[in-house]
Amino acid sequence: MGSVVDELHEHPNGWYGKEPWWKEATFYQVYPASFKDSNGDGWGDIPGLISEVDYLHELGVDVVWLSPVFDSPQSDMGYDVSDYQKIYAPYGSIQDVDTLVKACHDRGMKLILDLVVNHTSIEHEWFKESRSSKTNPKRDWYIWRPARYDADGRRMPPTNWRSYFAGPTWTWDEHTQEYYLHLYASDQPDLNWESEECREAIYEDTMRFWLRRGVDGFRIDTVNKYSKRTEYVDAPVTDPTSPHQPAPEMWCNGPRIHEFISELQEKALAPFGAISVGELSNTPHPSQVVPYVSAAAKELDMVFEFSMIRLGTGGMFGPKYHYVPFELPTLKGLVDKWQRFIEGTDAWTTVFCENHDNGRAVSRFGDCSTRDLWAASAKTLASWQATLTGSLFLYQGQEIGMTNMPVSWGIDEYKDIESLNFYAEAKRSGRQDEIDKTMHGLRILARDHSRIPFQWDDGPNAGFSQEGARPWMRVHDEYRDINARRQRDDPESVLSFYKRVLRLRKQLRDVLVFGTFRLLAADDKAIFAYVKEGASQRRRAVVVLNFSREEHDCPDVCEALGCASEQTTATLVLSTADQAGSKARPTQGREARLKPWEGRIYTNFAV
């Protein structure tokens, strides 16, 4: 494949399809604080990322997604922006972003930034003006409401809503004697998208400003929370132990949300041909998702739907970190649902199993009980992700099999505001079982796991930062065994496997990227198998993944591929068990047993 800007692709089976280039792109999320520190201050930075652009290019990345780098007090790691047109000094400068854009473009890659416009920091000038007086022109750029009072005359928030980070969604402002709304932390006040002036400032100051500088688009944070239900009524009491109640129905997919996103597309994205991928939370029904990503609707190019990646959580609010075990059929059912929901529509989907808000995939969905099973399961997860329909998103370190923080680490090593708030809430309960249950869940699911420094090599600070520096988060204990340098020249490594399977994904794009998905043996608790079929219905692939530490019989792939044994044979094109030495080879009948955590890809055509 040439440059990602090419929009016309010749497919291997001879037909031509005009598809937007981003549909077959591999995106790679960089969490800037933890990727590469270039100056020894313990924070990753943009110059550090620039120094490793070739690493990403060699991996097979088409688009770099850079998590927030705007100026910020860092209460929520940059998701609390104080100035959209400045860069947080430890990350670098605007000129560094310009250099990064050029470095990506010179290699045929793109760059998208993280757009956080549901809320700002309390340090943003807009909010300082808004809270200065009730008559300030920017007062209605945020959501202010008067207090309520109970029968005894005690002041109460306008509603009983619970925030995502625990506690109420309203904070009292003594100066103007009103409450302001914040769905997240109290220093992340929500912008009021009902204000046309506010919306125009968002488009001009946060989007056009960067698009004019050559940025190619945005991952759009909390994209379905801009339209709230403006009657501001209490949510039903579902947690009698708390005065603050979960209320996502009050702010997700609100009455004007599609109007707002259509306007955002028309006024800011479309004039630049910019890419958009939205974070779509609390939207579990395909009928709700399709309108956001329908090509005809002209809203967003694609969205992240989170049902699968949130497996194991106890919900989004109070019991979020009460871990709920699940079996493979549950995972398969969700994958099947979100692979097939676009069939018969003009919508598109995304593929991902890691990001900055979740534990590491190999620790959650794989097997880290031994070093051999860790490597095998990391490769099988790569085979799973690379063979699903949709645009593929990888998270930094996923390609080398980075794991969760060691279970021996205590709460003092956790830095994330959400982790600390949920743990503090458990402590306030005074119940040891609640504390233990929450800590157990954090060890599996916490956002902190994805945020520890990238493991570049076996030198000081894992090569993330120079010797003598103090990284903002502790480096993983196992960095000498799991690091990019060790894997780079090892043909059997997780990193080498990712490179190979990403090449195969592009080579077989008509089947793997654009093909339809059909699940096999939905109730099997060990084998995850499915058929991918290209548009011609002549080219098929069967993916067989052993999600267990025992050997299992391989399904009859010839039957699944529809091969007539006398005329056509199945071809094994990739196996995680012998990635370097194996060649594509024909096979007939039932294959050899699957090794523990082995993944295989078969086709009914030569590769």
Question: pLDDT tens across 162-191, in order?
Answer: 999 999 999 999 999 999 999 999 999 999
Residues 312 and 409 in one domain: yes
CA angle at 511 for the pair 505 and 512, rounded to the nearest 5°: 35
Residues 141 and 212 in one domain: no
CA separation for the pair 38, 575 (Å, rounded)? 38
Other Cβ atoms closer than 10 A to 408: 8
The region of weakest confidence among 7-11, 255-259, 428-432 is 7-11
Average pLDDT, the chain: 94
Residues 109 and 132 in one domain: no
Residues 477 and 362 in one domain: yes
550 part of a folded domain: yes
* In the predicted structure, residue 36 carries a pLDDT above the cut 50: yes
Is residue 189 within 8 Å of residue 176, measured between CB atoms? no
pLDDT (0 to 100) of residue 563: 80
* In the predicted structure, residue 581 carries a pLDDT above the cut 90: no
The sign of the dihedral angle between the CA atoms of 53, 59, 63, 68 is negative
Residues 116 and 137 in one domain: no
Is residue 189 within 8 Å of residue 119, measured between CB atoms? yes
DSSP string spanning 394-419?
EETTGGGT--PPPTT--GGG---HHH
User: DSSP E strands: which ranges in 19-106?
Assistant: 26-30, 63-66, 70-71, 83-87
The region of weakest confidence among 138-147, 238-247, 492-501 is 238-247
* In the predicted structure, residue 478 carries a pLDDT above the cut 80: yes
Residues 168 and 294 in one domain: no
Can you tell me the mean pLDDT for 38-57? 98
* In the predicted structure, residue 571 carries a pLDDT above the cut 50: yes
Rounded to two decimals, the pTM is 0.95
Q: Is 585 helix (H, G, I), strand (E, B) or coil?
A: strand
503 part of a folded domain: no
* In the predicted structure, residue 415 carries a pLDDT above the cut 70: yes
498 part of a folded domain: no
* In the predicted structure, residue 15 carries a pLDDT above the cut 70: no
**Would you tell me the crossing angle of helices 494-507 and 371-386 to the nearest 10 degrees?**
20
Q: 591: pLDDT confidence band, cut at 50, 70 and 90?
A: confident
Q: Between β-strands 391-395 and 26-30, what pairing exists: parallel, antiparallel or unpaired?
A: parallel
Residues 141 and 243 in one domain: no
506 part of a folded domain: no
Residue given tokens 């043909």 in the structure block: 491
pLDDT (0 to 100) of residue 316: 78
32 part of a folded domain: yes
pLDDT (0 to 100) of residue 35: 98
Longest distance between any two alpha carbons in the chain, whole Å:
86
* In the predicted structure, residue 584 carries a pLDDT above the cut 70: no
The predicted-structure confidence for 259-308, as pLDDT tens digits, reads as follows 999 999 999 999 999 999 999 999 999 999 999 999 999 999 999 999 99
Residue given tokens 């109070």 in the structure block: 318
34 part of a folded domain: yes
Residues 594 and 527 in one domain: yes
CA separation for the pair 390, 25 (Å, rounded)? 9
Overall number of domains in the chain = 3
Can you tell me the mean pLDDT for 138-162? 97
Can you tell me the mean pLDDT for 394-415? 98
* In the predicted structure, residue 13 carries a pLDDT above the cut 60: no
CATH number for the domain that contains residue 142:
3.90.400.10
Can you tell me the mean pLDDT for 344-371? 98
Residue ending a domain, choose from 488, 506, 539: 488
The predicted-structure confidence for 516-543, as pLDDT tens digits, reads as follows 999 999 999 999 999 999 987 689 999 9
Residue ending a domain, choose from 156, 181, 206: 181
455 part of a folded domain: yes
Residue 441 is inside which H or E element, if any? helix 432-445
Is residue 277 within 8 Å of residue 301, measured between CB atoms? yes
Rounded to 5 degrees, φ, ψ at 468 are 95, -20
* In the predicted structure, residue 5 carries a pLDDT above the cut 50: no
Can you tell me the mean pLDDT for 51-62? 98
356 part of a folded domain: yes
DSSP annotation of 437 reads: H
Q: Is 517 helix (H, G, I), strand (E, B) or coil?
A: strand
Residues 458 and 597 in one domain: no
* In the predicted structure, residue 37 carries a pLDDT above the cut 70: yes
Can you tell me the mean pLDDT for 427-442? 96
CATH number for the domain that contains residue 594:
2.60.40.1180
Residues 229 and 352 in one domain: yes
Percent of the chain with pLDDT over 90: 90
Residue ending a domain, choose from 151, 181, 211: 181
The sign of the dihedral angle between the CA atoms of 112, 117, 122, 124 is positive
Is residue 257 within 8 Å of residue 313, measured between CB atoms? no
Domain range enclosing 530: 515-603
- 101 or 6: which leads in pLDDT: 101
Q: What residues are labeled active site?
A: 221, 279
Residues 82 and 173 in one domain: no
pLDDT (0 to 100) of residue 11: 38
pLDDT (0 to 100) of residue 585: 62
Residues 225 and 320 in one domain: yes
Percent of the chain with pLDDT over 70: 94
Q: 568: pLDDT confidence band, cut at 50, 70 and 90?
A: low
Output the CA–CA distances (angstroms, integers) from residue 533 to 324, 514, 519, 539, 590, in the order listed. 34, 9, 12, 6, 21
Q: 317: pLDDT confidence band, cut at 50, 70 and 90?
A: confident
Can you tell me the mean pLDDT for 205-228? 98
Q: 315: pLDDT confidence band, cut at 50, 70 and 90?
A: confident
Dihedral of CA atoms 340, 341, 343, 348 in degrees, nearest 10, equals: -110
Q: 3: pLDDT confidence band, cut at 50, 70 and 90?
A: very low
